[in-house]
């Protein structure tokens, strides 16, 4: 059994800011006084910084207000899978939006990968990107039907994937717990280096970034006034790139729910441990569980295990605190999939928040009396590519061009529930999927028992 699970609460390795970033040494000063710009962006994650960079390239003057520091949110805490439509639940939205729009949505997800790959080159961001592809891999033979069905539907919608059979998995040295799967372009990166690269590029480009500057309120009109503790920023356009934190601002409360996602990371593995794993290509692996498991090696030779068990806090809260139960379940997943690593110390664990719409589709649009407030949320656990690409789409929209991919995102998002119904519904739904996943994992263990 892994040493981490022997600690009482599982919180002694907890990292408040996640495992990739620290508060930057050149933390930008808080906003003081009243300023104006062409666009004010709230939130400095992938979406906010990407929008800021694209707008600046179009010649706009841009202010970004960030409550803590750029990368404080999910963008600095994620698992670093740059994945396209792989792992997206095609069934869920195919029926809802129809074939044509579903095809465009798939290309939105896939285009996110190409967009980030291009931006890494253009902005010269070194974030240990390994374009290994992502494999959605089964851990039990009974997952084959679901995997093949989803892959076939994805292909029908334009997703470029192919099946990887057991022989190929073994030939590639993929750890044996992963039986077969389907693969798609993309890869893994260090999200901390990516977001800090965007931050540096934004500062270099002249974006006025105010960190430790929380948006407290705003008033609408031809010029939107965004109020903070010690000042205000006004502009004809405001972009809310606050993702899971948006409901706390009183917006999108009826469209998205914040979900807590957790991660554990081992201490660096020895050369001998790495050799026992094989896994020469270091492909990012996700599983077709109801709540996926994701397993990847990092450039610092650690193993990162994420997702597996999601959490919802009453009232759409986003408390930045440990989730020992989730870390324990992640340790169990690691022990199950990597028996040769049992006993390896856990170096870090953390949690962060994504936002989810009930149809699992992106929630990107325009609101306000003057239609000059733009927002982006709801990219679930697939924001590395999509939320970066959204920056480009929103900047074009502000510049007067509606990109076809932005138009494709327009659809009616199902309404969330009022509390306490939402809390009850989320708890019941998460408990249900956890039960199904636990049953499958028991089958896997039983099939391996001597």
Ligand X SMILES: Cc1cc2nc3c(=O)[nH]c(=O)nc-3n(C[C@H](O)[C@H](O)[C@H](O)COP(=O)(O)OP(=O)(O)OC[C@H]3O[C@@H](n4cnc5c(N)ncnc54)[C@H](O)[C@@H]3O)c2cc1C
Chain contacts with ligand X (rule: CB under 6 A): 42-48, 65-68, 72-75, 77-81, 83, 214-215, 241-245, 249, 261, 263, 306, 352-354, 379, 381-385, 387
DSSP string covering 285-326, please? EE--SSS-EEEEE-TTS-EEEEESS-B-BGGGB------HHH
Token duo for residue 262:
């957790």
The values of phi and psi at residue 138, to 5°, are -80, 150
Q: Which residue's CB atom is positioned nearest to ligand X?
A: 383
CA–CA separation, 261 vs 323, rounded Å? 9
Closest to 349 in 3D by CA, of 43, 66, 2, 47? 2
Quick count: other Cβ atoms within 10 Å of Cβ 142?
12
Q: Report the residue number, 71 or 175, with the smaller CB distance to ligand X.
A: 71
* Nearer to ligand X (CB atom), residue 179 or residue 256: 256
Minimum Å gap between C-beta 65 and ligand X is 5
Give the nearer residue to ligand X in terms of CB position, either 244 or 333: 244
* Strand order across the beta sheet in which 33-36 lies: 33-36, 231-235, 224-228, 217-219
Q: How far is the CB of 188 from ligand X (least distance, A)?
A: 8
Tokens of 25: 């040494």
For ligand X, the closer CB: 92 or 152? 92
Residue placing its CB nearer to ligand X in the complex, 76 or 175: 76
Q: With beta carbons less than 8 A apart as the criterion, state whether 137 and 181 touch.
A: yes
The least distance separating ligand X from the CB of residue 42, rounded to whole angstroms, comes to 5
Shortest Å, Cβ 16 to ligand X: 13
Return the number of the residue (81 or 129) whose C-beta is nearest ligand X: 81
Least separation in angstroms between residue 68's CB and ligand X is 5
Residues contacting 28, CB < 8 A, separation 6+: 69, 203, 209, 210, 211
DSSP assignment of 148-173, as one string? HHHHHHHHHTT---EEE-HHHHHHTT
* CA–CA distances in Å: residue 246 to residues 113, 313, 354, 445: 25, 14, 11, 41
Query: Smallest distance from the beta carbon of 86 to ligand X, in angstroms?
Result: 10
In the bound complex, what is the minimum distance in angstroms from residue 195's beta carbon to ligand X?
A: 8
CB of 236 to ligand X, least distance (A): 19
- Tell how far CA 431 is from the center of its chain: 22
Q: How far is the CB of 152 from ligand X (least distance, A)?
A: 23
> For residues 263 and 426, which CB has a smaller minimum distance to ligand X in the complex?
263
Within 8 A by CB and 6+ apart from 166, the residues are: 179, 180
Q: Give whichever of 151 and 215 is closer to ligand X, judged by the CB atom.
A: 215
CB 243 within 8 A of CB 78: no
Helix axes 191-205, 99-122, angle to 10 degrees: 70
Minimum CB separation from ligand X for residue 412, in Å?
Answer: 21
CA dihedral angle for residue 409, residue 400, residue 75, residue 161, rounded to 10 degrees: 40
Nearest CB to ligand X, comparing residues 81 and 312: 81
User: What are 239's strand-pairing partners?
Assistant: 41, 374
Minimum CB separation from ligand X for residue 271, in Å? Answer: 26
Q: Which is nearer to ligand X, 96 or 214 (CB)?
A: 214
Q: Kindly tell me which of 84 and 175 has the beta carbon lying closer to ligand X.
A: 84
The strand pair at 293-297 and 303-307 is best described as antiparallel
């Amino acid at each position: 059994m892994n040493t981490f699970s022997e600690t009482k609460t599982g919180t002694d390795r907890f990292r408040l800011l996640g495992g990739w970033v620290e508060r930057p040494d050149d933390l930008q000063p808080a906003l003081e006084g009243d300023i104006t710009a062409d666009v004010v962006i709230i939130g400095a994650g992938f979406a906010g910084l990407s929008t800021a960079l694209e707008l600046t390239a179009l010649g706009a003057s841009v202010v970004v207000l960030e409550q803590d520091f750029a990368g404080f949110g999910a963008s600095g805490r994620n698992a670093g899978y740059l994945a396209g439509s792989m792992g997206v639940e095609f069934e869920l939205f195919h029926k809802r939006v129809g074939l044509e729009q579903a095809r465009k949505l798939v290309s939105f997800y896939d285009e996110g990968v190409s967009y980030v790959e291009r931006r890494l080159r253009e902005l010269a961001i070194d974030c240990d990107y390994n374009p290994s592809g992502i494999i959605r891999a089964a851990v039990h033979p009974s997952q084959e039907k679901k995997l093949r069905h989803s892959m076939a539907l994805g292909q029908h919608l334009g997703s470029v994937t192919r099946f990887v059979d057991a022989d190929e998995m073994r030939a590639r040295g993929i750890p044996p717990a992963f039986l077969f799967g389907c693969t798609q372009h993309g890869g893994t990166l260090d999200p901390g280096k990516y977001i800090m690269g965007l931050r540096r590029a934004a500062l270099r480009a002249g974006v006025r970034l105010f960190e430790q500057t929380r948006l407290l309120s705003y008033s609408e009109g031809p010029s939107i006034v965004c109020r903070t503790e010690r000042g205000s920023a006004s502009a004809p356009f405001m972009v809310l790139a606050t993702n899971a934190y948006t409901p706390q601002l009183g917006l999108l409360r009826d469209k998205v729910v914040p979900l807590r996602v957790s991660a554990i990371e081992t201490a660096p593995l020895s050369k001998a441990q790495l050799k026992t794993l094989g896994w020469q290509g270091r492909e990012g692996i996700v599983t077709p569980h109801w709540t996926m498991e994701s397993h990847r090696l990092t450039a610092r030779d650690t193993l990162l295990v994420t997702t597996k068990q999601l959490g919802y806090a009453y009232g759409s809260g986003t408390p930045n605190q440990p989730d020992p139960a989730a870390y324990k379940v992640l340790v169990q997943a690691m022990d199950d999939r990597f028996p040769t690593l049992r006993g390896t110390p856990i170096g870090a664990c953390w949690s962060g928040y994504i936002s989810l719409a009930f149809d699992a589709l992106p929630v990107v649009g325009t609101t306000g009396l003057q239609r000059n407030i733009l927002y982006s949320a709801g990219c679930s656990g697939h924001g590395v590519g999509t939320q970066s690409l959204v920056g480009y789409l929103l900047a074009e929209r502000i510049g007067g061009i509606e990109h076809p991919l932005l138009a494709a995102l327009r659809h009616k998002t199902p309404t969330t529930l009022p509390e306490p119904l939402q809390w009850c519904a989320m708890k019941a739904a998460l408990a249900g999927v956890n039960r199904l996943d636990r049953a499958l994992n028991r089958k896997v263990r039983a099939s391996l028992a001597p």
